[in-house]
């Protein structure tokens, strides 16, 4: 039995210890915003936040996340959250819409999660910062729009902004 906190709510599960987090989220909890892509941690369609770090849910086991704080795209968007919706995520989603990033939209949840993690660490990223942090694949090839959306979201942040976790504390250096 493992207890996790998912989107602000405690979840106790009895799935096998080697079950990837992705399958707990999608099959057991019906949080289908986290997508299955490659199954080997390369494409990023399954990206979620674990303790404010972007990770690939297909590559981490449920047992390794005991007591972790997990946020899915549903949690960032405010669905089923105990806390207030994440304002940084709202800015990122608004930028995605303004720059018309989504085509098929399959990669969008993972990319949005990865972008939120990046902007928490680096509120005003350079193109090199974006290239290093955003390794998710977009099958439609909207990379120029993704970059523009990240810069748009960053420009909406206060210039003297220090990245904040959704819990109101600065992330560890």
For the segment 78-115, what is each residue's pLDDT rounded down to a tens digit? 765 445 557 899 999 999 999 999 899 899 999 999 99
The mean pLDDT value for 143-153 works out to 97
Phi (first) and psi of residue 3, to 5 degrees: -115, 130
Q: Write down the architecture of domain 2-76 according to CATH.
A: Roll (3.10)
Sheet containing 69-71: order of strands: 9-13, 2-6, 69-71, 47-50, 53-56
Residue 142's alpha-carbon distances to 14, 37, 49, 158, in angstroms, are 40, 17, 23, 27
The Cα–Cα gap between 43 and 22 comes to 14
Q: Pick the residue with more confidence: 165 or 68? A: 68
Structural domain boundaries in the chain: 2-76, 87-155
The predicted-structure confidence for 155-170, as pLDDT tens digits, reads as follows: 998 875 444 444 443 4
The predicted-structure confidence for 108-139, as pLDDT tens digits, reads as follows: 999 999 999 999 999 999 999 999 999 999 99
Q: Say what angle helices 143-155 and 108-121 make with each other, to 10 degrees.
A: 40
pLDDT score recorded for residue 158: 80
Q: Any idea which of 42-46, 73-77, 150-154, 157-161 has the lowest mean pLDDT?
A: 157-161
Q: Pick the residue with more confidence: 72 or 164? A: 72
Nearest to 65 by CA among 21, 32, 33, 24: 21
Answer yes or no: are the C-beta atoms of 86 and 117 closer than 8 Å.
no
Q: Does domain 87-155 have CATH number 1.20.1440.230?
A: no
3-state class (DSSP) for residue 42? coil
Model pTM score: 0.86
């Amino acid at each position: 039995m493992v207890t996790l906190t998912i989107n602000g709510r405690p979840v106790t599960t009895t799935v096998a210890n080697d079950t990837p987090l992705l399958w707990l989220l999608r099959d057991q909890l019906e949080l289908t915003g986290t997508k299955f892509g490659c199954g080997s941690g390369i494409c990023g369609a399954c990206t979620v936040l674990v303790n404010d770090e972007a990770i690939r849910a297909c590559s981490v086991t449920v047992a390794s996340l005991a007591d972790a704080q997990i946020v899915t795209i549903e949690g960032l968007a405010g669905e089923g959250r105990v806390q207030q919706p994440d304002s940084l995520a709202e800015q990122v989603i608004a930028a995605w819409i303004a720059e018309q990033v989504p085509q098929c939209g399959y990669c969008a949840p993972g990319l949005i999660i990865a972008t939120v993690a990046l902007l928490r660490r680096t509120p005003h990223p350079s193109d090199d910062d974006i290239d290093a942090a955003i390794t998710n694949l977009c099958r439609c090839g909207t990379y120029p729009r993704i970059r523009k959306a990240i810069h748009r979201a960053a420009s909406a942040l206060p210039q003297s902004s220090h990245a904040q976790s959704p819990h109101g504390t600065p992330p560890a250096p």
